[in-house]
Amino acid sequence: MTEPDNTIQPPPTRRGRWLLLAAGGVLLVASLGVLLSGGIGQASSAIFELLIALLTQLRQAQTQHPVAVYCGAFVLYVVVAGLSLPGAAIMTLAYGWMFRFWPALILVSLSSTTGATVAFLMSRYLLRDVIQHRFGQQLAGFNAAFEREGAFYLFTLRLIPAAPFFVVNAGMGLTPISVRTYWWVSQLGMLPGTILYVYAGTSLPGLDELKNPSVTKILSPQLLIAFTVLGLFPLLVKKIATRFVRPSVDN
């Protein structure tokens, strides 16, 4: 018989921890994306059990290394927002589910604005000629509206989620708006939508409910209310914003 290996494994390196946290963050987003898109009924029970086990491990990592997990989640969101990658909405729901309301709200609000500012700076200093050449005709109306409305135009674009994130960042990078103004207007304009998405994430069922899923547990009244408000919010904001913007447009 061979002797069991009782040697103590060395702790993971700092790089290894960050890779683990990044992989865990991607896993969390992908897992909740599957659950929210109806994957419970489509995926096999074995895959579903694997997702639950991995989510449980990620929750344990959060308990053991809360600061590292929080920082890793911040960096991951900045990268996604800064590169205009898809999945920011699912990430916001996932962060609300994982960190709960106030920590998730602070995290998403700061990281989304930081990512937007990164994209804004890339548009202004790195991709200006490319964007101007590719979208010059479309940006003409964008620039005219900004000259007419100023920072309030950016504020309305942030309030109404129908405006593509990439287009807003790229277009604003070609305007004379200062980085400071862009930051605080984006921070303020995206806050209402962030609050709604984070609240919806906190309304998602916990791990215990996910282990024994049922329609009544997943479609809770809080979750239904949250998604109803999310659906009505852009329409309400658009009506309010139009009433304020229209007088300037007519003049």
Q: Between 179-202 and 88-99, two packed helices, what is the crossing angle to 10 degrees?
A: 60
pLDDT in tens, 84-106: 888 898 889 889 988 999 999 99
DSSP 59: H
Residue range(s) defining the domain that contains residue 185: 81-250
CA distance 74 to 187: 15
68 belongs to a structural domain: no
59 belongs to a structural domain: no
CA distance 24 to 65: 13
Q: How confident is the model at residue 238 (pLDDT cuts 50, 70, 90)?
A: confident
Residues 11-39: what's their mean pLDDT?
A: 53
pLDDT in tens, 190-234: 999 999 899 988 988 777 666 665 545 556 677 778 777 777 777
18 belongs to a structural domain: no
Q: For the stretch 34-59, what's the b/e string if a residue is b when 16 or more beta carbons lie within 10 angstroms of its beta carbon?
A: bbbeebbeeeeeeebeebbebbeebb
Residues 30-48: what's their mean pLDDT?
A: 53
CA distance 82 to 121: 10
63 belongs to a structural domain: no
The total number of structural domains that make up the chain = 1
- 75 burial class (0-12, 13-18, 19+ CB within 10 angstroms)? middle
pLDDT averaged over every residue in the chain:
77
Whole-prediction pTM? 0.76
190 belongs to a structural domain: yes
Is the pLDDT confidence value at 119 over 90?
Answer: yes
220 belongs to a structural domain: yes
104 belongs to a structural domain: yes
- Residue 106: how many CA atoms within 13 Å on its side-chain side? 6
170 belongs to a structural domain: yes
Is the pLDDT confidence value at 7 over 80?
Answer: no
How high is the pLDDT of residue 214? 53
